[in-house]
Structure 1
Amino acid sequence: MHDQPTTESDYEWPACTACTRPLRQDELGRTSCRLCQDRADDALRQLPGPDGLYAQLATRLVPGRGGDSIVVTASRTAPLPLRLEPLNLMARGGVVTILQTWQTDWHEQLGWRHPRWAGGLQQQCDEAVKALRNNLEWAASRHPAFGDFTQEITSLVRQCERQITGERKERPIAVACPCGAVLRITVSTPGKRCGGCNTQYDRTEVLDLPLANRTAGPARMAA
């Protein structure tokens, strides 16, 4: 018995791993589209330097009155109590650790030596961002987890911005998939896969889904 020839309808057009939109003709063979590469680059550029988001976190360590935070200069120790959210982003395990974890992963993918960092956390942040941006074209073209990288870095930038501006965390929205599952998203969600029927929605499609009916009985929840 001979195998049936592959038809055009059997071919699934490659999609960007970050935003799930179909790749353009000149992007075929890449992991992610150039728009998502630019989005990741824009997020990275906001973090380093004396005026970057990471440095600005130090000015938001002390709770202020009326919702504002007291600015603390880097030359003196901030009095207690400190705000834990910006402190956690500044400390080990926060911004710098996330950047360095991705830099290490990329070095391993490329077969390079484990990266080494010098200086304080600000300097290490700047070095990691520079290295990631230098290799961003390769990552967007070849790294299988570039979508995860883009999502994590843009989320990290939003967390820093919220701490600096005092903006509240985005409120989750419950929307209903036609299969009956409920998806929880925010207005910034780049895309979502339904855990009920495995349908992948891009940003526009998931925001177009109807709101879940709160008055109805218990619905199936999708991650």
Structure 2
Amino acid sequence: MNESAECLICHRGLHADEAGRYACRHCTDRIDGNLRALAGPDGLYARLGAQLAPGAGNGGPAVSGSRTAPVPLRLEVLNLMTAGGPVLGPLETWVRDWETHGWAELLEAGTLQQRVDHAARTLRFNLEWAVAHHPAIDEFAHEIWQMRRQCQAQITGERPPRRIPVACPCGAVLRVTLDTTGVQCPGCTAQYGHKEVLRLPMAERRPAAA
């Protein structure tokens, strides 16, 4: 049980009906939405298959209706689709972790798409248990968000969000984006929520070396 009075993900104060949870309801809904976006026949993972051809998803020509992708393939997309890649690999790692607590069941049979769908489904089904009992829910939330962003970037050609250097009162520089939900200062270990970190002053640019 969370002994603090704040969400471990966004570091906002928990409401009375969220007491004891590790994540607020807003962050819980965001995790659920990210898992839902990854899975299913129209989900981000399934849509990666149409991006294997060079130029696809980045203003290039559309992929033909052939089931056989042309060669050479876009290796960054292929990597996202592999069993040990940054989508299915971490999803099943979290399922294994939750399974040790009796709150998930791993399924390693079937196609890669079926395994992604099962992992996302079982993680969503047991999400309420995790936000109430799993102290690494912030790490889990970050990894699921990264999966979604990586898939979206390959499908839409979206560039990663621009990082803004802001200064902590201790003097350390934090590089954050407008989407940053929370961050810990590496210098003084101060915790900042979304609103708090965006209120920090911009860090001064260092002069170029002569």
TM-score, structure 1 as length reference: 0.84
Q: How does 1:1-223 map to 2 (within 5 A)?
A: 13-64=4-55, 67-72=58-63, 76-94=67-85, 95-110=87-102, 115-215=106-206
Query: Do the aligned residues in 1 keep the contact of 2:166 with 2:201 (CA within 8 Å)?
Result: yes
Gapped regions of structure 2 (runs ≥ 5) = none
Matched residues, number: 206
Query: Do the aligned residues in 2 keep the contact of 1:96 with 1:124 (CA within 8 Å)?
Result: yes
**Using the alignment, how far apart are the partners of 2:148 and 2:103 within structure 1?**
29
The equivalent residue for 1:6 is: none
**CA deviations over 1:173-216 (Å, ceiling 9, x no partner):** 21111111111112211111111111100011111211111145
**Using the alignment, how far apart are the partners of 1:107 and 1:70 within structure 2?**
44
SS at match of 1:100: helix
SS at match of 1:92: coil
Q: Rg larger in 1 or in 2?
A: 1
**CA deviations over 1:48-75 (Å, ceiling 9, x no partner):** 1111100101111112289324444685
**Using the alignment, how far apart are the partners of 2:113 and 2:150 within structure 1?**
17
Shift in Å, 1:117? 2.4
Counterparts in 2 of 1:26 and 1:211: CA distance versus 1, 3 Å: same
Counterparts in 2 of 1:66 and 1:39: CA distance versus 1, 3 Å: closer
**Using the alignment, how far apart are the partners of 1:28 and 1:210 within structure 2?**
32
Shift in Å, 1:37? 0.9
**Using the alignment, how far apart are the partners of 2:176 and 2:126 within structure 1?**
31
Q: What's the % identity of the aligned pairs? A: 53
Gapped regions of structure 1 (runs ≥ 5) = 1-11, 219-223
**Using the alignment, how far apart are the partners of 1:55 and 1:48 within structure 2?**
7
Shift in Å, 1:124? 0.5
SS at match of 1:184: strand
Amino acid at match of 1:87: L
Question: What's the C-alpha RMSD, in Å, of the aligned pairs?
Answer: 2.3
Amino acid at match of 2:99: H
The equivalent residue for 1:3 is: none
**Using the alignment, how far apart are the partners of 1:198 and 1:179 within structure 2?**
10
SS at match of 1:23: coil
**CA deviations over 1:142-174 (Å, ceiling 9, x no partner):** 111111111110121011111111111222221
**CA deviations over 1:20-44 (Å, ceiling 9, x no partner):** 1111111111121111111100001
**Using the alignment, how far apart are the partners of 1:164 and 1:212 within structure 2?**
33
